[in-house]
Each structure stands twice: as C-alpha cells, then as structure tokens.
Structure 1
C-alpha cells in the first residue's frame, strides 16, 4: 500500500472558502454516499426509439462492493490524494475504472471537509455563547457600580481597581467576539450578527494597556519597522484570487519544513566539520514539486541548526509572529520588515493557524554585502505532539511580471519543542536560492560558508537574545560590585535604551535598499561609504543633519581578540579619537549573558578637554559563535540619571557608532596568495555624527572630509593596536 506523510489533522486555514448549500454533504444520506461511485453517465435511446425532443436519461449510480469500499477507505487513511499511478494500481486491484477511483476519493475528501467544518462551527458557536454570557455578567456588574464616597453612579476616574479591570476585560471579550465572528464568517458565509450589538463600555483608546499583544496584532496591517519611510519599493498585499493559492502553498511548506527538520541521512549529510549539508539530489527526489524550479543565476543555500534556549515556547511563537518584536530580536539580521496582510489570526486566543503575508530585508552588518529582500507568507501551527512550527515560503510566483528577485525563500523556519523549567528546543532550517555575485570579495568566503545568512546565525542570535531578556527580568542581583545596577526599574530602562541604540546601529550599517550610500574613496577594501539623514521630529535623535559613515576590512587577527580589545575601556584611548586620550572609567554595567563580554556599560571619559569633561558613553558589547558587536553612543548625564532611576528612556537622544566583527575572510599565506580559513576577522566600523543642528541646512564638503578622515584614522589606529598585540 502506498504511503504519503501528510498531515494527520487539517487546520481550519485550509477551509477558508465558505460552503454553498448545494455542496453541503450533511444532507446526503451516509449509506447512499458509501455505496455510490462518483461516476455517472448519460443513457440515450438509439435507432428509431430516439426522440429528439426527449432529454437523455441519467444512468443509475454504480454501486461498489463492501470489499471495494473497505480497501479504498484503508488507502484513504494513508494517502487522501493518490496520484495517477496509485489510482491505476488501485483500480486494477479492485476491478474499477481509474475514473471511478478518482471520483470516489474526491467525494470522500469533500465529505471529510464538510464534517470538519461542522465540528469547527459547533466549537466556535459554543465559545461565542460562553463569551456572551460572561460579557453580560460583566455588564451587569458595571451597571450596579456605585461611588464609594457618595453612593451614586461611579465615574471612570472614581472606580475601584476591580471595577476598572472589569471594563478592560469587557473590551477584551468584545475583541475576542469580533475575531471569532470573523472566523465563523469564513465557514458559514455570514458573520454572527446576533452578537454585533455588544460594544465596549469604555472608549478603546483608554484601554490600550488592557489589550494583549495578540489582540493588537490582529488589526496590524502594513506598519513599517526598522527602516526608512519608503514602502519597500512597490510591495502590496495579495489579491483575493491569490489567497487560496497562498493557503495551499503555506500548508505544503509546513509539511516540507517538518520533514526537513526531522530527516537525517541521506537528505542531510555531515561533513568533516560536523556541519550538515543538504543533499540536493535527494531533496529534489523527496520534494519534486516545491515552489518550482530554481531560476537561472541563483544558487542554493541550505543549513540546519538546533539550540536549547531559556525561553518559554509560547513566548518564542509570539516573538516570531509579531513583526515588530521579530525585527527587534533579530535586528542584526533583519534590517527591515513589514506585514502586508493578515490572512488568518489563528484560533483559541493564540497563533495556531495564523497566516501572514510579509516582506523583509535580510542583511550582514556591512555595506559591502547586498541585502536579500523577500516577499513571503508566514504560517504558524501547533501540531499534535505539542510542537509548534513557523514556516516562511516565498510568493514571488504570485507577483505581477517584473524584475526577477535576487533571492527567494524555499520553506524555511523552525520547530519549537517545550522543555521543563521554561526552556525550549529550537530546530532551525534556512533554505534559500540567491544571486550573490554582487558580494564583495572579502565577504564571499563567509557568505558561501552559510555563516552570514544561515541557520547557525539565526539560532546563535536567538540564544543570545533569550539570555539578554532573562537578564533584564532578573530580580536577585548581588550588590557586591559597586558598578552593578541592582535597581530592577533602572536595569530595565537602561537595557531598553541600549536595545534602541543597537537597533539604530544595525539598521544604518548595512547595504539596505532604504539607504543611498556614496563611496568617498577608492582604495580597495578600505572604501568608506557615507550617507546623510535629516532628523526633525524624532525624539530619539538630535535634530539636524546626521552623517553616517561605514567601512569594512579584513585583518589577520582572531575575532575574540578584536572583540576584547574594542570593548575594554582600558584600551579605548588607543583608538577613540573623541576621547582625546583621556582616562575611561566604567561607572555601571549590566551583565546580559553567559559570555563575560556580553554586557551593557555606562562609561565616563575624564578628558583634559573641558568641553568633553565628564562625558558619559552608553555601550553594549555582545558576542556569539557567528559574530560580535561593540556599539556605543554619547549620552547626556541628566538624561541618564533619569534612566537609571527607572524613567522613560525613549526620549534620550542617541547617535550610535560602533563595530561589527565577523569571523573568517581571506588571509595571506607565506607566498602572499589569498587563502580561506586563516582565522582572521571581518571588521565593520561605523560612525553617526551630527554635522549641523539645523535640519534644513546643506551638508558641506568640509563636514564630509572631516568624517572621512575620522573613520580612516580610527581604522589605522585599530589595525596598529591589534596587529601589534597579535605579534
């Protein structure tokens, strides 16, 4: 018997089309269905018996034997969608025509679909009834609320905490009812209008803090994060005609992701470095259809990694399905991201079955590596064993004719398994097809190895960010070190400010299509790229003309040595021109990971220059197996005192600068020939400087020359210092 590893359950996202009355199989008797074939023919009279005015009579249905039905039922359990070869073999075994077998399976799938819809509809109606009764109970409690002082009707500002909580809960229930009504409309063809009269008793704008992240996400369409003001070129949401194809593609991608994540040899083969490599021939045999053949000019990149992280599986799913949080956690990889349309929000108050059409831009922190821009659907599902899966797959084939994409995502994503004590196991699969010919020569080895965009970088970043989040939530901080910030609110505010600083640095250092880089010099790998930005009403940036400059180069020094040198305040005066050789002292720090170098620090520069005396620097340093960052920004002393007291950090103006360090790159052997794997570092240096405090001012050539000289001088100092240490 043939076997196909299909879903043991089919989620509601497969059944988004309303059922018409003529297709409702609930009205067909079960015994008629089980004894009739799907084939029917027309019987026409012959010879002189034929009456031209008489319509052809319909022949009676052919009745299958119980043995035929039982065999097809058994086959259906294993494979609901037999192909032509399977149908022909089954027809020979049962003595039926292949067309009869085909129609029987079609009818059986339709019946199963109708039964599934009736069950889902009953569940939804029961949930709606429960919410309606609970909502009425809250309404009754609120209508009887009285002022504790005068005994009269309570105004909003005079309510007790419990009564205000009832109002917030009422609004949440209304939102749940609207959501379930929308889902029910997809099944029964009309909304549950009987509940439409329910409305929150308090204006929704006053309940912003009472609505969970999931509720806020359901209404989120098309908001930009981590990028410029352009609309990601001309991306738009899918048409109505595209949506059924998107659903079908997402479900097929989910099946492929699960098999890719769980398969071993021969699909994945380990090389000498214990790195898993995809067997392309085996992949094409296992998934012959996929999303279509690989376009000319694109090459395949596939990788798989697993990690155990200190985060609950539900929280991980919420991060992946919220585009803002996803962009923040993976800001070193995701330079820009946007949700174009939410096709399904899931059921039962979580993301099970959620379906989103998105666009995102993926980067390496260097202006020398082009970004990878993808238009894709993201599908989330909880499986029978409790494992959650989130999969992405490109939708390029659905877009109108235009320029061919330089990158597309075959089914990629992760499986998340719950572990004890709030931990989760994550298996990540990254499978793309890309044209990387525009990558600069010094970055080609690290890109070709899969380290730049592959699964290892995703899981390493996730692991480090989970540690960072756990640190921000820690309460028991030892007070032995005077530099350690023990105040919980102060820690959270300082970490939030550092997070914004890191995001601003990462989104401004890569070759994003939102940036217009200009090359100032032509000296090989030391080219300096510059761009300008106008900052006017952003409270997180000082107003005026901001100039960003970045350059990348290779040095034959291990990444850990470069990282330790740049993050150490005692060696800062060796490369930081702005410190004027002054003594740099750490005033406070927050550890945020296992690596001792992963921390957020507040530094004081004791410079002889009176204009820079007592200047403070906020710095975050972080490192994992795929790369390291040292990012810093000058901060105002008064503003930092507010932050350390637990105040709002969003209005502290920042212009971050810093370094991104990746392992690998070309090296020189004894013969002076470039070779790979020499243990060097790819270092990106980036500065942001306010060159004029008036936003309408024009950038002068003198300002550009000053920044160019500043970054060149910094590069020379770093090279001299680390090369001297390494000898």
Structure 2
C-alpha cells in the first residue's frame, strides 16, 4: 500500500473542503439591508449622490457594511433615479405630443371651413402649404427622432419604441394636404354598384422616406412591441404557456361538444363559445365579454409534405414563418427569447409579435403580442401553442391592455413517415374591430374565413408543396420544367418568392402603410399610397413609387377568373402593357400538382420597331398560385433582359429590382358574402383585388403631381374594365 498517495489525496480533499467553506462564508456575507441602513443611505444620497472614498468609509463603519457594498448601493440608486426621471420625461413628452396633435386636428378642421376671398370657393391647398418645405422638415424631424431613439436604446440596452402601446394614433399622414377627406371605409362593387370609401377628395399622401411599400417593419417607429419580460415575470409566463399547451392538446382532440362542423365545409369546424366557456373558464371567473368583442374559433387539419422537425423550425423562425405565409403574416419577430429549447426546439418559449393581414387595403391588420411554446409531447409528435400574455402586464407599463388577443391556440404536428406530417390547427382569438372593414370583405372576415384555421392550413399545404418543388422531391413534382437549368431554376424560384412576398406586403393596411382614397374612373374608388426608397434596400428601385389598389366583385367563379388571369394566351385582353403584343412563355417551373401553381417567364414581342431596327421586347416574371381555401394570386413584375439573363444563369437574384403588381382572388357570395365551401367556390362569384406599383421618379426629392395620380387611376380603372369586358361582366 502506498501511503504517500493517501496523504496527497487527503491534502487535496482538505483543500476542496476549505474552498467550499470559503464559498459558504462569502455567500453568508450577502444579506438584505436593514431599515436603519437603508434610511441612513437614503439620507446620505439626498445630500451627496456621489460620495467619495472617505465618505463611503465612514458609512461602512457606521452601518457595519463593506465599502464595496456601499459603492454598489449608490450606483444602483443613481441608476434607479435616472430611470425614474426618464419615465417622468417620457410622460411629459407624451402629454405635449397629445396637446400638439389636438391643436393640429383643430387647425385642420378650421381649414376645412376657410373660404377663398377671391372666388368664394374652397381654398387650394398649395396656397397654404409649401409641400417641399414640409417634406424637408419631416425628414429632419425623423432624423432627430432616430438619433434620440438610438441614444435611448443604448442606455436601456434594448430597442426603443418611440410610441408605446396605447398612445393614441391619428389616422393622418405626415404630409397632410387634405381637402375634406374622409378615412377609408368602403370598396367598389361590381355590376355598376358602388360603395364609397369616403366622401370628398383626399390627398393625404405620405411622402416620408420609407413610409410605404417594401419598408422593413422592424424600422417602423409605430409598432406596438411588448415590454421586455422581467425576471419576476418569467415563472408566470412559463405557467401561462404550460396551461395554453394543455388546453391546445385538449382542443385538438376534443369531440363534438366544443366543435361544431360547418355544413358543406369538408370537415372544418367552428367553436361553440358557450360550451367552451363552461369547460375551460377558471373557477369563479366571469365569462362576460364586451359587446364589441367577437370570438373567432376554428379547427381544421391536413396532411402536408414536410417532416415535423422542419415544420417546427418554420414556426419558431420568424423569417421562415413569414416566407411560408406571405399572404397572412405581414410581419413577425421574436421580441424576447425566454427559454432556449433542448434537442432542437423542444421546450422553447419565446415572446413574439406579429401582424396578420388580408390582402386588401379595405381590411385593417391585426396585431398580437403572444407567447409561443414548442414541445415534443411524444415520439414523432410536436405541439406549438400560442397565447397572449396576461393583459394586466401591459397596464403595468403604462399602456391600456389590448382588447384583441390570442386565446390558447396553435397546431399539433404528427409524423406520418416518408417526410409527411398531419397538422391539426386550432385558431382561437378575441377580436375588437377598431377600424371599419370594407363591405365587400366584412362577411369574409367576421365569419372567420379570412384568418381561421382553414385559411392557415390551406396556406401551409400550398407552401409545403412549393418548398418540395424547390427541392424536386419525387411524388410532389408534377409537370416538366422547361427552358431553364437546375441553377437557373433555384434562382428563378428565389426571385419569384421575393416578388410574391413584396406584393403581399405592399397590399397590407397596417398603421405603417397609410392608404388614401382617390376617385377613379368608371365608378371605381382607388386607394393610393406613395413610398420612397433611397438605396438602403437592395432589390427595390430607388426613387418615388406610387402604389394603387382597388377591389371589385365579379359574378364569375373564382377558379375561372384565376385561370383567365394566369393564362398568357388571354393576357392581351386585360394587360395594358401587352396590348397588341404577342405573349409567349420563355420558361416554366411547376410548383405542385395543380397546373395553376407555376412560375413563368413571359416575353411580349411588340409589332413596333425599336430605333435600332429590331422588335421591342418586354420580359415579365409571373407566379400564379391557388390553395384549398379558394384564395388565388397572380403576381408579376417586368424585368429587363440583363436581369433575366443573370437569373437564368443561376446567379444570386437578390439585387434585381422588382415592382410587383397583380391580383388576389377570393371566392365570395353575392355582393361579397363569404362562400360557405371551398369545394364549391363557383357558387356565386368572387372578389378580385387589383394592385399596381409604378416608379414615377428615380429622384427621392421629386414631388407628386396630378398627372401621376391620373396615370395610376387610369391604369387601374382600365384594367378592371378590360377584365369585366373579357368575362362578360359589364
């Protein structure tokens, strides 16, 4: 036996015990200050917030504290006092801001009643406002605001929201040239009938840089992002997410007591609100809801061609989530990653913010801040649960609690082997409709068809088909790719994906995207929005872009309208640019089993001669898609020949500028009522939203003139009339 080793081992054991004793002693030294110590420190802080070393030493002897503790206490107290002053300053600034807003409204109302002394008519806005000076002043103020926000964010250690949730938002643009305008409240109807958006001519054209089409919402100052979750709140958030997960699992497996099948709805179900409240309400709680609060609850399921692990990654990654649902999610971001998951995404918990849209300016977006909880509940079985955080925490941070919120909802994902999954989706929310909804879309939205589970599942099924087509998965590819190599195929699909996302984002009616109603020809009201890009966004043309959109009801089945608009053989009947031109497909990429889901590069050859003696050629990139909900899109954008060659060669297409235009088609009953079944979308008719983007100047400082507005008005109205004439709807 070697005793030397035992002695050495004993020495190491003694050292370890001594280290533990020292650590325990250090832990014991941490203790809360007594009331007397706090009172003495507070009195000293009032006299001298920055004590020197001698003063700290005297306090240490007097209070029995270490000098290091004294130093840290004063540092923390100064930080706390600075934060209190910051909150007071913010409250004062908000009050001043509200006061200025009220004065601005009063001045605008007074200007409406001003009479021109010369002719006795209403005044001309240009005589009272210098548009160029206002634009420069707005740009200067925005720079100052961004500078202050950057300094505040640096101090707070987190992104700063200039307008906290609950601050009154005025529905006016930064450059207000209003002449008796009324906020948008309606859309045109087909068959010669007309429901106005508002009375009078409105020129509220927002010319702020980046305030329109294509602007990343992360740069917008008016987003209602939630306050960061504190350490004290984290346990409550975890409990809330766990309860939501349990309720979601029960709802996905619940029988006919809670869910009611829609007649002719192919298995779709809506929630029985009274039955739900009786089962899931907390003991002793009240189920009272205000009269202006609606409950939307629905359930649907489908088998999609994607594995559960990949689907989980889509739901937990905001960028992929937006890419999969461009027609529903206009913006999504993680505002607070609370718990990082194990073994992939299992047990992940995040605080998310999202904006949900319906592709028309007539339907306002929905904003939610909620918890998203991901858990693997069994082998090959995942669940994603969403629930709005406790509304009381919003009031704690000085904002009124939101009245629209997500109730426990989400999806259950089951592995079906061979790369397929069964997704059971539950969508459940309480909604307060603050802004008016256009009459064409009112039934679609209030019935739950616009944001319900069936809409999500159909969009997910379509996105999975598109993703599988990009990978050329056997059994999903239908049809042959023509006129393009494998590298060119990937580049063409990436460019088309960006085009569709930009088109959908340009149609949103969020507070960051202000629309103005303009009178159009042939009884159509046209919504107009102006935006500017100063080169900060690759893939967007520099200059001033004018966007316009309108909606019309057609007594034609939705699938017939979709087939007509996507067919290159009938394009000359409605497309003003391709009038009297020969349109031919250059290449085509299928995007799933439905032949209507494809990406096409079109070439329009004009009969006229170019100055060089050749024929004029127009190239158009187009994507058409439809899903099980009956929602269809035809999106296109002209591209020049060098860009097309670069795309076809397989190069990175991210720098190719696009100005997407197109159509969104939704099956609807007579006059715009929601269709009861996607299986029979041709029962009554459809609603078609038409949207165009035009680059009116490559100079960001250019002024908008009446000629530009008249051009886009004429373009939209002519296109609508051409479509009606071709479909015999005049």
Shorter-chain TM-score bucket reads 0.5 to 0.7
User: Deviations along 1:509-556, whole A, 9 cap, x unmatched?
Assistant: 121221011111289993211111111222201111011111112111
TM-score, length-scaled by structure 1: 0.65
User: Deviations along 1:662-681, whole A, 9 cap, x unmatched?
Assistant: 11143399xxxxxx995211
TM-score, length-scaled by structure 2: 0.64
Following superposition of structure 1 onto structure 2, how do residues 445-460 of structure 1 map, counting pairs within 5 Å?
445-460=443-458
8 Å CA contact 2:672–2:686 kept in 1: the answer is no
Structure 2 counterpart of 1:618, from 618, 621, 624 = 621
Quote the offset at 1:405 in angstroms: 3.1
8 Å CA contact 1:376–1:392 kept in 2: the answer is yes
Q: CA RMSD in A?
A: 2.9
Q: Residue in 1 aligned with 2:137?
A: none
Query: Mind listing any 5+ residue stretches in structure 2 that lack a counterpart?
Result: 1-23, 25-213, 674-680
Quick one: distance in 2 between partners of 1:478 and 1:277?
31
Quote the offset at 1:476 in angstroms: 7.7
Q: Residue in 1 aligned with 2:583?
A: 584
State the SS of the aligned residue for 1:618.
strand
User: Deviations along 1:241-264, whole A, 9 cap, x unmatched?
Assistant: 332221111111101111011111
Quick one: distance in 2 between partners of 1:665 and 1:311?
34
State the SS of the aligned residue for 1:520.
strand
Q: Does 1:414 align with 2:419?
A: no
Quote the offset at 1:394 in angstroms: 1.0
8 Å CA contact 1:549–1:686 kept in 2: the answer is yes
Quote the offset at 1:709 in angstroms: 1.2
CA change 1:285–1:406 in 2 (3 A) is closer
8 Å CA contact 2:522–2:717 kept in 1: the answer is no
Quick one: distance in 2 between partners of 1:644 and 1:339?
35
Q: Residue in 2 aligned with 1:263?
A: 254
Structure 2 counterpart of 1:316, from 297, 301, 311 = 311
Quote the offset at 1:404 in angstroms: 5.1
Quote the offset at 1:402 in angstroms: 3.2
Following superposition of structure 1 onto structure 2, how do residues 189-200 of structure 1 map, counting pairs within 5 Å?
none
Quote the offset at 1:615 in angstroms: 1.1
Q: Does 1:371 align with 2:365?
A: yes
Quick one: distance in 2 between partners of 1:494 and 1:292?
55
Q: Does 1:651 align with 2:652?
A: no
User: Deviations along 1:625-673, whole A, 9 cap, x unmatched?
Assistant: 220000000011111111111110101110000000011143399xxxx
8 Å CA contact 1:563–1:630 kept in 2: the answer is yes
State the SS of the aligned residue for 2:464.
helix
Quick one: distance in 2 between partners of 1:355 and 1:415?
16
State the SS of the aligned residue for 2:589.
strand
8 Å CA contact 1:330–1:462 kept in 2: the answer is yes
Quote the offset at 1:292 in angstroms: 7.9
State the SS of the aligned residue for 2:256.
coil
Q: Residue in 2 aligned with 1:553?
A: 552
CA change 1:478–1:398 in 2 (3 A) is closer
Following superposition of structure 1 onto structure 2, how do residues 122-271 of structure 1 map, counting pairs within 5 Å?
227=217, 229-235=219-225, 236-271=227-262
More displaced 10-residue stretch of structure 1: 262-271 or 570-579: 262-271
Quick one: distance in 2 between partners of 1:375 and 1:523?
41
Question: RCO (CA 8 Å, sep 6+): is it higher in 1 or 2?
Answer: 2
Quick one: distance in 2 between partners of 1:617 and 1:455?
34
CA change 1:594–1:443 in 2 (3 A) is same
Q: Residue in 2 aligned with 1:66?
A: none
Q: Does 1:358 align with 2:367?
A: no
CA change 1:523–1:392 in 2 (3 A) is farther
CA change 1:523–1:414 in 2 (3 A) is farther
Structure 1 counterpart of 2:706, from 682, 687, 701 = 701
User: Deviations along 1:399-450, whole A, 9 cap, x unmatched?
Assistant: 1353453521101110000111100000000001112372111112212322
Q: Residue in 1 aligned with 2:122?
A: none
More displaced 10-residue stretch of structure 1: 540-549 or 265-274: 265-274
Quick one: distance in 1 between partners of 2:426 and 2:477?
42
Q: Does 1:340 align with 2:335?
A: yes
State the SS of the aligned residue for 2:399.
coil
More displaced 10-residue stretch of structure 1: 290-299 or 325-334: 290-299
Structure 1 counterpart of 2:294, from 292, 299, 317 = 299
Quote the offset at 1:489 in angstroms: 1.5
8 Å CA contact 1:667–1:677 kept in 2: the answer is no
Q: Residue in 2 aligned with 1:93?
A: none
8 Å CA contact 1:381–1:389 kept in 2: the answer is yes
Query: Mind listing any 5+ residue stretches in structure 1 that lack a counterpart?
Result: 1-20, 22-223, 670-675
